[in-house]
Amino acid sequence: MHDMPVAHPRTTQCEGKRERQSRNGPERTPTPAPEDGSPVDHGWRRAVRRVAYRFVMRTIRRAAESEMTLTARCLANGCKWSVGPTAELEVAQDACLVHAEQQGEAHSRFSRVTEDVGEVVHS
């Protein structure tokens, strides 16, 4: 009888990957952990990046200690009329109506700015 060659597993280095050749194809062998405790670079294993999305429900509202103020000015060409910042919103709107009645149709447009202090709260 003739001696038949027997396939023995052998280790090869291929593009930085450690592989063990066997009859069933390449088998991957684990890389021993470094002694200094640093992470193991297996070479054949791709890095898994885990991402965790955290949705936090937030809303913005007027701060409890603040009050809304209104400022208005007439948009008529050359008119310098305005109402300063006031917390009395209805009084400022009434002042705009009175100005428009007294000055005529050209003074019927106003720029109004409302302001308050906003506060972000977690829902």
Whether residue 107 is predicted with pLDDT greater than 80 in this model: the reply is yes
pTM metric for this prediction:
0.49
Domain count, the chain: 1
Confidence bin at 45 (pLDDT 50/70/90): low
Calculated CA dihedral for residues 89, 91, 95, 96, nearest 10 degrees: 20
Q: Tell me: the pLDDT tens digits for 70-104?
A: 999 999 999 999 999 999 999 999 999 999 999 98
46 located within any domain: no
10 located within any domain: no
Question: What percentage of the chain has pLDDT greater than the value 70?
Answer: 63
- Please give the residue range of the domain that contains residue 96: 65-122
Least confident of 55-64, 88-97, 103-112: 55-64
Tokens linked to 110: 């106003």
104 located within any domain: yes
70 located within any domain: yes
